[in-house]
Structure 1
Amino acid sequence: MRKPVLLLILFSFCFSFSSISCKKTADENSKLPLSSGYSSKVQSLTPFDSTLVNSFFIKYHELKKYQQETTELYQKRNYQYIWFDTKGMLEVSHLLYNKLNNMEDDGIKATIPYKEKLDALFLNATENQKATVNNELLLTSLYFFYTQKVLKGIDDKKIAELGWYLPRKKKSYVSYLDSIIANPSLINKNEKEVLGQYYNLKEVLQKYRKIQKDNSWSPIALDSSTTALKLGDSSQTIAQIRQRLYIFEDLSADSKSAIYDDVLAAGIVKYQNRNGLLENPIITKKIIASLNVPIEDRIKTITVNMERCRWIDVDVAKAKELIVVNIPSYRLTYFKDGKPVLISNVVVGKDMNKTVIFSADMRYIVFSPYWNVPTSIIKKEIKPGIAKNPNYLSQHNMEWYNGGIRQKPGSKNSLGLVKFLFPNNNSIYLHDTPSKNLFNEEKRAFSHGCIRVAKPVELANEILKDDKNWTPAKIDAAMHKGKETWYTLKNKIPVYIGYFTAWVDDEGAIHFYDDVYQRDDRLATMLFEE
């Protein structure tokens, strides 16, 4: 494993297009398919002059970045109007205007270009809502502005700067507009375009903004007379905590009692589970500090994770088998047919050896593995150890091999009894470990970049469950054989290593995790700059 340089996904369709001249005949125009958004109820206007597209972007230069897509769109449509017919503005135009004005609901803070002209078009007298080429192209350009902000997210170059190397599918919003025109309601919620988790976060975002609006967020202070609170204790702090947990929906009711009872203890445990904290009914300064995180900070965390959802390919969820590792939650989930069959705690790379955010296909399981020690570890740790102790290698069950050093198979091997390989340029893989105690830690960023699995035996058994070559007894024997054995999987399993500091579970509860690699603020800054 070498030190990585620097990772749960965006769009599901790729389209090809043909360029159509604006000088097509009326007969040819009448043959446009219904999927293009035209119907017998829409009285189409006469196509406009194609040369006016370039003139528009000279005048409205702030929208020039959308000129290529706009040109492609109207070439496909023979330069027919999209947002207007002979009677005026179509319904889809008003829907777009509404979505533009409410982008903050999608966690987007952005200045709409030429907002005053857009408002004038919709808010003034009906005669100003007649079709003109400028009005038509303004709406089209702002449609692409909207899809870029709300559906696509920041560009690939900026994502790579954040160390995120999960694949994104190329998506054309030229064709997506056809779907919206045919069914305008799709613009409100279309999970074919963005990962479903995005909409879950969006719903929670509205809840947290309501909390921000309705409640004064006064800090909870622990009584100076104590350092912790336990069952049976009485304190005004307990009443404050009870109210906070009720607001967060960790308690179903607020009795306003200042006595620490079993009901509050259950709420504390629920809160801890949602926030990556170890279960402990004793209320400490650490729990209070977590409860005091400003609501504005929680909102920011939600919005940056909504942005990450924009980057995920929605087809990921359709995989027959899928292994997902979320770095901030220190957790691995193995899915089969969309349902979790195994959840395991993991240890990820420490800050100096960050686990990379990427994906690859698992192809091999290696039982009783050797550990080929990375050159960096040999230099920094092993050679100094040899200098102090000539028996260092033998005491650690290591040997020189092909000019390097490897650790022999066995229970004390740093990779444990099994490793799971998904070949990649980052030399990252999943593996067992003899250091089981680390899985009980609250924060588990201790490795040199690879991912240690708390349930390696269960993972191997689940992967090979339907493979006639293996039984649990054979797997156990291979793990303890003391001789390295490679096995090629019959079916490759996609492995996704992601980075989400907020996630909504199937019950609708929001989970927040420690920003272990300090990436949220940088992403938030990029979003603000956008």
Structure 2
Amino acid sequence: MGVYCISIVDKNAFRRQIIVILTCLVLIIIGASCNKEKRRRKAILADESVYSSQNFTDLLIDSLTIKSFFQTFTATDSIKSEINEFYSRRNYQFAWLNKQGLTLSATNFYSQLQSYSRDFADNSLNNNQLDSLFMAAQTEEKLFILQKKQVKQLELLLTSTFFKYAQKNFSGTTKDPIDLEWFIPRKKKNYQTLLDSLVSLTKGEKVQEPVNQYYILLKAKLRAYRELQKKGGLPTIITDKKLLVLGDSNTCLLNAKKHLVLTGDLKLNDNTIFFTDSLAKAVQRFQRRMGLVENGKINQATIIEFNKPIDFRIKQIMVNMERLRWIPVEMENDYLLVNIPEFRLHIFQNSKQVWQMNVVVGKAAKKTSIFRGDLSKIVLNPYWGVPTSIVRDEILPKLKRNPSYLARNNMEVLSGNSVVNPANINWNAYSGNVPFSFRQKPGNHNSLGKIKFLFPNNFSIYLHDTPSKGLFNESRRAFSHGCIRISEPKKLALYLLRKDTSWNDEKLEEILKTDNETVIKVNPTVAVYIAYFTAWVDNTGQLNFRNDIYNLDEKLSKEIFGELQNP
């Protein structure tokens, strides 16, 4: 009996020890889990410099409320995901309101919404419920903050509207840019970081928007043109004269002067019908901004640009702002940029334009593609590998009529890598593509001139010299088969090699005097952007317009203005 009692006691003691051990283990696990959760919570904060303790509000929301909100608020899956991620990182604390009412960030953002609606005449982000709740929160702060359901609704409406606004204002159309003939890669923008910065403001600081500086400059011009639109637009020129020059007098000059004062090209309006020297200079400034011949004369081309309606100009600005949403926020320090409708190559060093030159681009039937590349080679005295389409459509018909065509144009025929005698080929046997390749040998009459610049791409496009120098004097320079002819190839070559001590003007010139093909590597490579802008603000702050030579504005207009209620 006693032995039995001792055995029971031992067993009970053993059980108590097991319970104690298990309890300790549970506490250890719970403690570890808590520490892990603390670390996890700390890790999900985007930026402690933004999310300090004083930045957080004292109101909370939960995931069930967010889920319930989506049952009544229409949003894409991507926006729903953004909202959930945002509140998860904030540990479900409010962003726009606290116990005192609306934060400064909320009023700032609501003001941005109103500006966006006015600037772009876009009512798609308007929300009557948001407007009503926001007005109540502004006018009856103490009463409104006690109404928990309305407070949560306003909080979520502001956040969801922010992500819709950010997507529209900073990313633009959701259509694949490739369908719009734009092949410069678009980088995904981080709107979480933008919202983090916005809701952490306490003194009205300005948040840096995720857009290129050229977008910001063009946006200011859009606002100015909206004001001109409200005041009746820009005066037009109505005259039967085909040419007005310095010294002429005509009543249409009254409107010409009014127009130029409104656009900033003419400083002082003398309100006379006389073509004065100050008017001639103002017309030159206007012509420069339009890409016309700067002769200071009001000719037919100038009148056409004068008479384009303000609504047309506003749409032109908005179309190009859409394109500017697609380019990188921060460009490389050094890069080249060809603007196709401008027929210009711009050279940037340390993020500033250092010089520019005229270029010839592809004609409408042979468009120059829009893309980004890395310039890696300069070729002196290049061969010109003739594209298959040119062989088929142009060279073969000429070769059939005159077999000496190739010799007269310094061309040769290759089968694989071997040069063959064209006289041994029956060219009449071919009606389309031929099983040979053609190239033009180096020389002064080579179609590529004496220098070409290679940046590997899928479009077989490069920059090159040309023997046809006269085309650079034309105001509209769309003559090529797609590649880009540049007016100052030697200057560009020396600029790209400026840090390479093994190259100088004398050495370059010595090789160019020969017909020997020479390849020079460019290291490091230089970014090249082939872009398409028909409206932009230049480095002097002037608003420029150009004609839509490839009808790409028209194509993009259908996409963006189809989404706006009142373009």
Q: What's the TM-score once normalised by structure 1's chain length?
A: 0.89
> Does residue 277 of structure 2 align to residue 262 of structure 1?
yes
Matches of 1:393 and 1:184, distance apart in 2: 74
What's 2:161 paired with?
A: 142
Distance 1:408 1:506 in 2: 40
Q: Which residue number in structure 2 is paired with residue 40 of structure 1?
A: 54
Q: CA deviation at 1:86?
A: 2.1
Cα 1:186–1:390 shift into 2, 3 Å: farther
**Which segments of structure 1 move beyond 4 Å, counting only runs of 4 or more?**
23-34, 62-65, 184-189
Letter aligned with residue 94 of structure 2:
Y
Q: How does 1:376-387 map to 2 (within 5 A)?
A: 376-387=389-400
Contact 1:108 1:150 in 2 (8 A): no
1:90 has 2:108 as partner: no
Once the two structures are TM-superposed, the CA of residue 128 in structure 1 deviates from its matched residue by 3.5
Q: 1:159 and 1:177 mapped to 2: Cα distance?
A: 26
Structure 1 Cα separation of the partners of residues 57 and 392 of structure 2: 76
Q: Aligned ranges for residues 108-127 of structure 1 at < 5 Å?
A: 109-112=122-125, 115-124=127-136, 125-126=140-141, 127=143
Q: Distance in 2 between matches of 1:380 and 1:433?
A: 21
What is the SS of the residue equivalent to 1:228? coil
Pairs aligned (count): 502
- Provide the rounded CA distance (Å) in 2 between the counterparts of 1:297 and 1:256: 27
Name the counterpart of 1:214. Answer: 231
Q: Distance in 1 between matches of 2:123 and 2:203?
A: 23
Local SS of the residue matching 1:174: helix
Matching residue of 2:322: 307
CA distance in 1, matches of 2:171, 2:176: 13
More helix by share: 2
Q: Which of 334, 339, 349 is equivalent to 1:336?
A: 349
Gaps of 5+ in 1: 1-20
* Alignment match, 2:25: none
Deviation of 1:189 after TM superposition, in Å, equals 5.5
Partners of 1:195 and 1:28 in 2: CA distance: 34
After TM superposition, give the deviation of residue 334 of structure 1 in Å.
Answer: 1.1
Which residue of structure 2 lines up, in the alignment, with residue 325 of structure 1? 338
Query: CA separation in 2, counterparts of 1:416 and 1:184?
Result: 61
1:165 equivalent to 2:218? Answer: no
Aligned to 1:11: none
**Per the alignment, do residues 406 and 28 of structure 1 end up closer, same or farther by CA in structure 2, a change over 3 Å counting?**
closer
User: What is the rounded CA distance, in whole Å, between the counterparts of 1:493 and 1:184 in structure 2?
Assistant: 42
Paired residues of 2:55 and 2:200 also in contact (CA < 8 A): no
Structure 1 partner of 2:473? 440
What is the CA deviation profile of residues 269-296 of structure 1, one whole-angstrom value per residue up to 9, with x for unaligned ones? 1111000101223321221111010011
Does 1:413 pair with 2:436? no
Letter in 2 for 1:496: Y
Deviations 1:117-145 (A, max 9, x none): 10111112433355543322221100101
What residue in structure 1 maps to residue 286 of structure 2? 271
- For 2:111 and 2:101, locate their aligned partners in 1 and report how far apart those are by CA, in whole Å: 17
Instruction: Label 1:320 to 1:398 Cα distance change in 2 as closer, same or farther (>3 A).
Output: same
CA contact (8 A) 1:410 1:480 kept: no
Q: Which has the higher contact order (CA 8 A, sep 6+)?
A: 1
| SS across alignment from 1:183 | coil
Question: AA paired with 2:133?
Answer: L
Q: Give the superposition deviation at 1:27.
A: 12
Distance change >3 Å, CA 397–CA 247, structure 1 → 2: same
Q: Structure 2 vs 1, CA of residues 43 and 449 (structure 1 numbering), >3 Å: closer, same or farther?
A: closer
> Residue by residue, what CA displacement relative to the aligned partner does 1:335-389 show, whole Å, maximum 9, x if unpaired?
1112223311001111111111110110000000000001100000000000111
Residue of 196, 209, 213 corresponding to 2:213: 196
The aligned residue for residue 304 of structure 2 is 289
CA distance in 2, matches of 1:396, 1:31: 68
Cross-structure match for 1:15: none
Q: Deviations over 1:84-141 (max 9, x none)?
A: 222222221122211112213553624225x111011111243335554332222110
Percent identity, please.
Answer: 40
Distance (Å, rounded) in 1 between the aligned partners of 2:55 and 2:319: 42
1:128 and 2:140 equivalent?
Answer: no
Residues 189 and 501 of structure 1: is their aligned pair in 2 closer, same or farther, counting only changes over 3 Å? farther
User: Which residue of the partner structure matches residue 540 of structure 2?
Assistant: 507
Contact 2:266 2:282 in 1 (8 A): yes
CA apart distance, 1:30:
13
Measure, in 1, the Cα distance between the counterparts of 2:38 and 2:93.
Answer: 12
- TM-score, length of structure 2 as denominator length: 0.84
Distance, in Å, in 1 between the alignment partners of 2:492 and 2:299 is 35
Distance 1:520 1:450 in 2: 21
In structure 2, the CA distance between the partners of 1:265 and 1:194, relative to structure 1 (3 Å rule), is same
Deviations 1:239-277 (A, max 9, x none): 221221111111111011211121111111111100010
Q: Tell me the secondary structure at the aligned position of residue 433 of structure 1.
A: coil
Q: Where does residue 500 of structure 2 map in the other structure?
A: 467
1:466 CA displacement = 2.1
1:391 maps to which residue? Answer: 404
- Superposed, which structure 2 residues align to 1:93-108 within 5 Å? 93-107=106-120
Structure 2 stretches lacking a partner, 5+ long: 1-33, 416-435
Q: Secondary structure at the match of 2:547?
A: coil
Q: Residue in 2 aligned with 1:177?
A: 195
* Secondary structure of the corresponding residue to residue 246 of structure 1: helix
CA gap of 1:133–1:239, structure 2 versus 1, over 3 A, is closer
Q: SS at the partner of 1:325?
A: strand
- CA separation in 2, counterparts of 1:371 and 1:275? 35
